């Protein structure tokens, strides 16, 4: 008989705290719906008191949830907890998650002694339980907390009404033997430990987040907190796809089950990478581009004879089609719709029409159109409501600089043209944009990745920009790297403009996040 392990996804809360990974309201709602459909048990939708924008996103996600519990984070204060409840109460299955740092380093921040902190934990968990019968309490930096005090605070939280006890490895400090041992000891020595679910929340600072989470499960934890692609602060969080697939593949030593539909993993991984602006590294476990690629002659020979010689799971298990798209410029909409469906994209007629036009344009420029090319097309994040739109771009470059960019940019419905020079074609292009639309945004990140192989491959460009504390990412793909760069840069500017308008005088700031909100 197998035990059920709850999957608690915090991509929209802890994952979004990764610098530059801020998502829009609509993107958060979209990702939450995908997580719900995938079978995640609990979705931590955000930190409601952090901003009006975060509150609204959590509220909307709570209203739309179908099966997943919707959770909000709150610090150890009545004000935070009340605001959290106001956001999550719309869910059919709401949860309040409150936390406080219990290690010596974290106790020093609010300047509380052990007795004062113990009293605050009791009061806050009691207050949360009076609002909601599903309360999670976290001992932030638990793995660096003195054993006697950790045991004491866990006991207090349980007696105050907590239903889930989370033991975070906030800074990725522990290792698997310690992780399992800590959970096992708490379950053995804390009164009424059998009345609650113990949870693990691990960070990847030493590269052991997945191993520590799985070890905690073997020690008795029955909830894993994780994020899509391991997104999160510093080196990231436990990756959902890694723990779920590890439990699926190694049932011989870990007889545990999850409700996650693993065939939806690749689609949501790609979507999170797009909206966060954090590309997945090629050799990332499960979802990386090379996770199911084999180049060695010995490996290829073994794969041809029996896939199991070098693959412990099938690409289909995580939602990969595993085939090249045999479509070209003569293919019709029906074939395109069918292939997109295989890749996890169900589209209405108007949306398909837009993608089909771009597909035909790409097919005219490429000899072969691959699955990844199609995914890049679908993920183009331009909007009809964008104030800035690239209409034309001609770049002159070569060894004898400076390079020059001639650009036509539509701004609020009117075309504007200019020429600009720069240290390279991309620099000249960005200078042209800035000359037509003056701004103070600072370029924080510029990344280029080839979507597929070959000299005619599409380039996916990611741009991250910052203006007055607001951060926005833009992404675009094109067979012309400079064009893709221009579109990504303009896309990031459009998103900054939306946030600038939301933070105009008299409007609540949507993106303020507290530095002590993570675990």
**CA separation (Å) from 276 to 66, 145, 338, 375?**
24, 33, 28, 16
Q: Judging by beta carbons within 10 Å of its beta carbon (0-12, 13-18, 19+), is residue 295 exposed, middle or buried? A: exposed
- C-alpha–C-alpha distance, residues 459 and 485, integer Å: 9
- DSSP of 11-80: IIIIITTSTT----HHHHHHHHHHHHHHT-SEEEEE-GGG-HHHHHHHHHHHHH-SSSEEEEEEESSHHH
Question: Which own/partner contact pairs does 394-398 have at CB distance under 8 Å and 24+ positions apart?
Answer: 395/425, 395/428, 395/429, 395/482, 397/424, 397/425, 397/428
Neighbours of 118 (CB within 10 A): 18
Q: How much helix, strand and coil, in percent to the nearest 5, is found in the chain?
A: 45, 20, 35
- DSSP of 335-374: HHHHHHHHTT----HHHHHHHHHHHHHHHHH-S-B-HHHH
The answer to the question of whether 4 is labelled as a binding residue is no
Strand order in the sheet with 442-450: 442-450, 459-467, 470-478
- C-alpha–C-alpha distance, residues 81 and 85, integer Å: 6
Tokens found for residue 103: 């290690």
Point out which residues pair with 7 in neighbouring strands: 224
Instruction: Tell me the angle at which helices 371-378 and 349-365 cross, rounded to the nearest 10 degrees.
Output: 130
The answer to the question of whether 294 is labelled as a binding residue is no
Size of the chain, expressed as the number of residues it contains: 519
- C-alpha–C-alpha distance, residues 372 and 92, integer Å: 37
- The helix/strand/coil state of 410 is strand
The answer to the question of whether 203 is labelled as a binding residue is yes
- C-alpha–C-alpha distance, residues 438 and 183, integer Å: 55
The answer to the question of whether 299 is labelled as a binding residue is no
Which of 367, 313, 292, 377 shows the shortest CA–CA distance to 339? Answer: 377
- The helix/strand/coil state of 500 is helix
Q: What is the dihedral of CA 413, 414, 420, 423, to 10 degrees?
A: 0
Residues flagged as binding site: 14, 201, 203, 237
Residues flagged as binding site for Mn(2+): 14, 201, 203, 237
């Amino acid at each position: 008989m197998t035990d059920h392990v709850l999957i608690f996804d915090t991509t929209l809360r802890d994952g979004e705290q990764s610098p530059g990974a801020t998502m829009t309201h609509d993107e958060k709602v979209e990702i939450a719906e995908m997580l719900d459909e995938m079978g995640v048990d609990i979705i931590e939708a955000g930190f409601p008191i952090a901003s009006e924008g975060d509150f609204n996103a959590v509220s909307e996600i709570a209203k739309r949830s179908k099966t997943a519990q919707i959770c909000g984070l709150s610090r150890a204060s009545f004000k935070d907890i009340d605001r959290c409840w106001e956001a999550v109460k719309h869910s059919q299955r709401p949860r309040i998650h409150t936390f406080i740092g219990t290690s010596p380093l974290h106790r020093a921040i609010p300047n509380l002694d052990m007795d004062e902190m113990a009293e605050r934990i009791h009061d806050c968990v009691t207050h949360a339980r009076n609002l909601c019968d599903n309360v999670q309490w976290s001992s932030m930096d638990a793995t660096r907390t003195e054993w006697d005090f950790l045991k004491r605070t866990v006991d207090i939280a349980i007696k105050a009404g907590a239903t889930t006890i989370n033991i975070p490895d906030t800074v990725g400090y522990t290792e698997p033997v310690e992780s399992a041992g800590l959970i096992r000891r708490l379950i053995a020595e804390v009164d009424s430990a059998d009345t609650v679910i113990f949870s693990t929340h691990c960070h990847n600072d030493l590269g052991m987040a997945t191993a520590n989470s799985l070890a905690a499960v073997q020690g008795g934890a029955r909830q894993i907190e994780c994020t899509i692609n391991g997104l999160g602060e510093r080196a990231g969080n436990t990756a959902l796809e890694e723990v779920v697939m590890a439990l699926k593949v190694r049932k011989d030593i870990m007889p545990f089950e999850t409700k996650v539909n693993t065939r939806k993993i690749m689609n949501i991984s790609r979507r999170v990478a797009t909206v966060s602006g954090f590309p997945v590294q090629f050799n990332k476990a499960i979802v990386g581009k090379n996770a199911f690629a084999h180049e060695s002659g010995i490996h290829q020979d073994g794969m041809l004879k029996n896939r199991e010689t070098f693959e412990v799971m099938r690409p289909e298990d995580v939602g990969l089609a595993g085939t090249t798209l045999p479509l070209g410029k003569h293919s019709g909409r029906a074939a395109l719709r069918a292939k997109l469906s295989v890749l996890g994209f169900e589209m209405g007629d108007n949306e398909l029409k837009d993608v089909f036009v771009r597909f035909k344009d790409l097919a005219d420029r490429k000899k072969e159109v691959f699955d990844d090319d199609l995914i890049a097309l679908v993920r183009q994040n331009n909007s009809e409501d964008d104030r800035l739109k690239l209409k034309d771009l001609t770049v002159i470059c070569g060894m004898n600089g400076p390079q020059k960019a001639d650009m036509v940019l539509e701004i609020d419905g009117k075309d504007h043209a200019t020429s600009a020079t720069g240290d390279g074609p991309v620099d000249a292009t960005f200078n042209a944009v800035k000359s037509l639309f003056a701004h103070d945004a600072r370029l924080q990140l510029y990344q280029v990745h080839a979507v597929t192989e070959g000299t005619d491959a599409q380039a996916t460009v990611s741009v991250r920009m910052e203006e007055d504390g607001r951060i926005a990412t833009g992404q675009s793909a094109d067979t012309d790297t400079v064009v893709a760069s221009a579109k990504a840069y303009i896309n990031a500017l459009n998103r900054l403009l939306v946030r600038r308008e939301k933070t105009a005088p008299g409007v609540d700031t949507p993106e303020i996040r507290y530095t002590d909100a993570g675990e």
